């Protein structure tokens, strides 16, 4: 799959020899991401899909000389995801800090979770731009890339809802010893999404 990833990026830049430096930089970053995912235990197929998805809609825009703009757009995209994850992780702090206030702590926690979820939803919607003027081959690749982006957006939403459900149910019932099952359900739903998109292919 690593060789296929190299061929895919070469294909994206086949008509833009003047973009050699940009191609090499994207190639290096994408292959590093692929290697990290595989070494982390992810299958090569899933690592390939995640790496290609991380390129966004760069494939359809390169042919119109806009590749630098698209690549630069990856930075705010990554920052938004990092910010959302940080908010999820830090959402427990208000409960710990204001443990003597039964309303303020949980209220602030849910506000932070809501903001993080809103960031993920906005991120998924804001970067779904597709250039219909690309040639037929690029258009096909971009369409496949778009499907991966939709799939990853759905999976992100599933995990966001699982986290919210976990905290809501746990604080409502105090059944912390059982509510972790919600994450197993989330993993199952995520696999169902993978299977559904695989069947569509």
Question: Which pLDDT score is estimated for 68?
Answer: 47
Tell whether the model's pLDDT for residue 158 goes beyond 80. yes
| pTM beyond 0.75, yes or no | no
**How close are the terminal C-alpha atoms of the chain, in Å?**
17
16 and 80 fall within a common domain: no
At which residue do the structure tokens 């998924």 appear?
124
> What distance lies between CA 142 and its chain's CA centroid?
17
What's the burial of 41, exposed, middle or buried (CB within 10 Å: 0-12/13-18/19+)? exposed
pLDDT digits (tens, 9 = 90+) for 66-77: 444 444 456 677
Residue 68 in domain: no
- Name the residue range of residue 14's domain: 1-53
Sign of CA dihedral 117, 118, 120, 121: positive
From 52-61, 87-96, 99-108, the region with the lowest mean pLDDT: 52-61
Please list, in sequence order, all residues whose beta carbon lies within 8 angstroms of the beta carbon of residue 72, skipping any fewer than 6 positions away.
Answer: none
49 and 86 fall within a common domain: no
102 and 27 fall within a common domain: no
Sign of CA dihedral 40, 50, 71, 124: negative
Residue 94 in domain: yes
Tell whether the model's pLDDT for residue 148 goes beyond 70. no
Alpha-carbon distance of 120 to 31, in angstroms, equals: 25
- What are the start-end ranges of the H helices in the chain? 2-12, 20-39, 44-53, 58-62, 67-90, 93-97, 104-126, 136-173, 176-179, 181-200
Both structure tokens of 165 = 């459900």
Residue 62 in domain: no
DSSP reduced 3-state for 111:
helix
Please list, in sequence order, all residues whose beta carbon lies within 8 angstroms of the beta carbon of residue 173, skipping any fewer than 6 positions away.
Answer: 179
Question: Which pLDDT score is estimated for 59?
Answer: 53
Alpha-carbon distance of 91 to 138, in angstroms, equals: 42
Both structure tokens of 201 = 């292919």
179 and 124 fall within a common domain: yes
Alpha-carbon distance of 197 to 200, in angstroms, equals: 5
Residue 59 in domain: no
7 and 83 fall within a common domain: no
């Amino acid at each position: 799959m690593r060789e296929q990833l190299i061929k895919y990026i070469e294909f994206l830049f086949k008509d833009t020899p003047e973009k050699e430096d940009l191609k090499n930089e994207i190639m290096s970053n994408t292959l590093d991401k692929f290697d990290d995912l595989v070494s982390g235990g992810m299958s090569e197929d899933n690592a390939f899909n995640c790496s290609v998805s991380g390129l966004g809609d760069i494939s359809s825009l390169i042919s119109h000389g806009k590749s630098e703009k698209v690549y630069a757009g990856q930075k705010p995209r990554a920052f938004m995801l990092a910010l959302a994850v940080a908010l999820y992780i830090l959402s427990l702090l208000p409960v710990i800090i204001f443990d003597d206030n039964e309303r303020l702590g949980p209220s602030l926690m849910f506000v932070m979770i809501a903001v993080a979820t809103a960031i993920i939803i906005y991120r998924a919607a804001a970067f779904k731009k597709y250039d219909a003027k690309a040639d037929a081959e690029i258009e096909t690749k971009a369409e496949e890339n778009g499907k991966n982006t939709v799939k990853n957006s759905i999976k992100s939403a599933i995990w966001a809802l699982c986290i919210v459900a976990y905290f809501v149910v746990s604080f409502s019932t105090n059944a912390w010893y059982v509510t972790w099952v919600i994450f197993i359900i989330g993993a199952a739903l995520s696999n169902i999404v993978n299977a559904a998109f695989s069947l569509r292919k």
